[in-house]
Amino acid sequence: MWVKILIVLVLLMILASLASGMIYMLRDRGNSERAVKALTVRIGLSVTLFVLLMIAFATGMIQPHGLFPPQP
């Protein structure tokens, strides 16, 4: 259960970084590096989330499922 909470938290951090990058681009008008740093953090978080998902799947902490699970 804690893995799913961690996944949601990382997703929220990715969204926050994306939003801050957008705000920095609008406010700074390309005159500072804050937007680049925020988007770099977002990419790092996305890679971290991908690795976390692969590790959780490989260890059996999460199980994939389809849109329509098989009927018993």
The number of C-alpha atoms within 13 Å of 14 and in the hemisphere containing its C-beta is 14
35 within a domain of the structure (yes/no): yes
Residue 19 domain-assigned (yes or no) = yes
Q: What range defines the domain where residue 31 resides? A: 2-57
* pLDDT tens by residue, 29-61: 777 788 889 889 999 999 999 999 999 999 989
Which band of pLDDT confidence, cut at 50, 70 and 90, is reported for residue 65? confident
Tens of pLDDT, residue by residue over 24-36, are 888 887 777 888 8
Would 66 be classed as within a structural domain?
A: no
Q: Give the number of domains in the chain.
A: 1
In a domain, 70, yes or no: no
CA dist 41 and 19 (Å) reads: 12
Strand, coil or helix: what is 26? helix
Is 64 inside a domain boundary? no
